[in-house]
A and B are shown apart, each in its own frame.
Chain A
């Protein structure tokens, strides 16, 4: 079974620029999550999709962050404009409600904002 795919793995941008991250979840997984992991901290949920609908985006900074999941499969997370404090690893995860609670994470996209 192929895992969660994310790209790019690394991205360096200047503040006020924009960036987009892509995620392809495990085939058949209805639920997709984007987490932000700042160095030395635990993952923080940004947004959760169930199929192509948003379940929870209460911690998403909506003035600069946006995410979509068209057709209920892959997803894109965008940051525009980026700030220095957005430097972090952006983790995508998916889960199948039929398999209980396990989240399957991708390897993450590391963003550095200069």
Chain B
């Protein structure tokens, strides 16, 4: 089955700096790669996703890049703000949500 690895496990940045989180996956058949943000005591919430026919997608301060050849994808957050502090999870699945596998998560702390 699919195996998703995520790095780093913790990340601390100064407000206004950029943050990058990286994930690799094992199953070349995977074609859907979402990113979820989880705040304390809450369920994960989708912030951005990308499908395998696209190399990059951007939504305001958040962007995701995908390299299918290398089987890795990354989340980029620019101009970080304290409210970006949370745990971020990457995930991969073969079809939309079937058998979706999550990474172990990255705890992002943005210092004011």
Contacts and interface: CB of A to CB of B under 8 A. Distances in A.
A42 B89 contact: yes
Interface residues of B, number: 25
Contact of B49 (A55, A97, A102): A102
A43 B104 CA distance: 8
A44 B4 CA distance: 12
A108 B43 contact: yes
A46 interface: no
A67 interface: no
Nearest to A93: B43
Given A107-B43, A108-B43, A42 B49 contact: no
Contacts of B91: 42
28 contacts: A31-B97, A40-B104, A40-B105, A41-B104, A42-B4, A42-B102, A42-B103, A43-B89, A43-B102, A45-B100, A45-B101, A48-B97, A55-B98, A97-B96, A101-B34, A101-B49, A101-B93, A102-B34, A102-B46, A102-B49, A103-B34, A103-B36, A103-B100, A105-B44, A106-B43, A107-B41, A107-B42, A108-B43
Interface of A: 4, 31, 33, 40-45, 48, 55-56, 91, 93, 95, 97, 100-103, 105-108
